[in-house]
Amino acid sequence: MNDHVYSHTMKAMLWTRYGPPEAFDLAEIERPEPGPGELLIRNRASTVTAGDGEIRRMDLAPYFALPLRFYFGIFRPRRRVLGQELAGVVEDVGPGVTRFKVGDEILALPGFKFGAYAQYCVLPEDAEDVVLTPKPTKWDFANATTLPFGGVEALQFLEKADIQAGQTVLINGAGGSIGTYAIQIAKHMGAEITAVDSAEKLAMLEKIGAAHTIDYRQQDYTDLGQQFDVIFDVVGSARFTDALRALRPGGFLLNANPKLGFMLRAAIARARGLRTYFSASESKAPYLPKVVRLAEDGVLEAVIDRRYPLEELAAAHHYVDSGAKAGHVVIEID
């Protein structure tokens, strides 16, 4: 155990109700203590993604929102601290911890334990829904904190498609947390990438590896008359039949944000031989170390749009809700 003296309270942004960003209140609360097999992590950075806003509002598909309401609270959340990816330093360890020690710089994907929007959090070293790994040594905390969610989701989906050098990949919603890493990973795999997003983001998408770009406000990629080996629909905006028009026979259709109808039709089509993947529900544990290696090897760079201190979390959520975010929005803690 780490026996040095530190405060027994911490600052945290408490999620007090379902709704707009003003649902967050800054508070001084008791700092958690690590139990057996747990780490106390001093959070140094986190992020705000579009998914964070959906959870804050509980603006989710009914099949997903209903169980989450039971988990968080039917009418209002039970004083929970959100934040689904973090970079920090191990401050203390409980009995039985073997993989990490005090002072280690780490990344965490805490799953539904969340906890990143505070100065400290406690996470189990070994749990099915929590992924911990050493931080890339060449990256600072602000850049590294963008890897656990965006990098992992991008790699997990793209590996399903078994992309080969020279194949064409279209990424719809390429300008966000997942999409900016998907471009870089697909390019590393040898693909020729077409990126779809708003006009304001297209120059950035070309800079990080897109060979072609489409402003979705001016052109629907399903009406181009062009077909791709892989379509990765990050935002899930295309109807299933429309997406199929843009997919080559034998191609692979990936959807990170599918509607229920899309999932049902894709499941039926998959039973008939269509290659689709729309669920990233299996363990993330194998992917985060891979993403860290790609970062260490110089394959990836973080695209950070804006940085906010923890106390301005509501402003960060407002900006992400606006849809203008290009890449990542980072929350810097202390």
- Residue 101: predicted pLDDT: 97
- Residue 260: predicted pLDDT: 76
Banded model confidence at residue 280, pLDDT cuts 50, 70, 90: low
- Residue 265: predicted pLDDT: 77
- 334 Cβ partners below 8 Å, 6+ apart? 42, 44, 119, 310
- Of the two residues 65 and 310, the one the predictor is more confident about is 310
Indicate whether 297 belongs to any domain: no
**Mean pLDDT, rounded, for 296-316:** 98
In this structure, of 79-83, 85-89, 146-150, 301-305, the range with the lowest mean pLDDT score is 79-83
How many domains does the chain divide into?
2
Whether 21 and 87 share a structural domain:
yes
pTM, whole model, 2 decimals? Answer: 0.93
Average pLDDT, the chain: 92
CB hemisphere CA count around 87 (13 angstroms): 24
- Of the two residues 273 and 106, the one the predictor is more confident about is 106
- Residue 236: predicted pLDDT: 86
- Residue 241: predicted pLDDT: 85
Indicate whether 306 belongs to any domain: yes
Banded model confidence at residue 271, pLDDT cuts 50, 70, 90: low
Question: What is d(CA 100, CA 97) in angstroms, rounded to the nearest whole number?
Answer: 7
Buried b (16+ CB within 10 A) or exposed e, 303-325: bbbbebebebbbebbebbbeeeb
Indicate whether 264 belongs to any domain: yes
Indicate whether 291 belongs to any domain: no
Question: What is d(CA 62, CA 86) in angstroms, rounded to the nearest whole number?
Answer: 28
Query: What's the CATH code of the domain at 54?
Result: 3.90.180.10
Whether 273 and 155 share a structural domain:
yes
Query: What's the CATH code of the domain at 154?
Result: 3.40.50.720
- Residue 317: predicted pLDDT: 98
Predicted confidence (pLDDT) at residue 259 exceeds the cutoff of 80: no
Banded model confidence at residue 5, pLDDT cuts 50, 70, 90: very low
- Residue 20: predicted pLDDT: 96
Whether 78 and 181 share a structural domain:
no
Q: Are 174 and 196 in contact (CB under 8 A)?
A: yes
Q: Which of 230, 262, 277 is the last residue of a domain?
A: 277
Whether 135 and 258 share a structural domain:
no
Q: Which domain holds residue 104?
A: 9-146+302-332
Give the CA diameter of the chain.
66
Whether 26 and 107 share a structural domain:
yes
- Residue 291: predicted pLDDT: 98
Whether 255 and 307 share a structural domain:
no
- Residue 283: predicted pLDDT: 82
Whether 104 and 167 share a structural domain:
no
- Residue 334: predicted pLDDT: 80
Whether 234 and 173 share a structural domain:
yes
Indicate whether 284 belongs to any domain: no
Banded model confidence at residue 71, pLDDT cuts 50, 70, 90: confident
Indicate whether 161 belongs to any domain: yes
Banded model confidence at residue 6, pLDDT cuts 50, 70, 90: low
**252 has which bridge partners?**
230, 275
- Amino acid identity, position 270: R
In this structure, of 16-25, 55-64, 201-210, 305-314, the range with the lowest mean pLDDT score is 55-64
Question: What is d(CA 262, CA 284) in angstroms, rounded to the nearest whole number?
Answer: 23
Whether 26 and 141 share a structural domain:
yes
Whether 13 and 142 share a structural domain:
yes
Whether 15 and 120 share a structural domain:
yes
Whether 134 and 177 share a structural domain:
no
Indicate whether 288 belongs to any domain: no
**Mean pLDDT, rounded, for 81-108:** 97
Indicate whether 86 belongs to any domain: yes
Predicted confidence (pLDDT) at residue 321 exceeds the cutoff of 80: yes
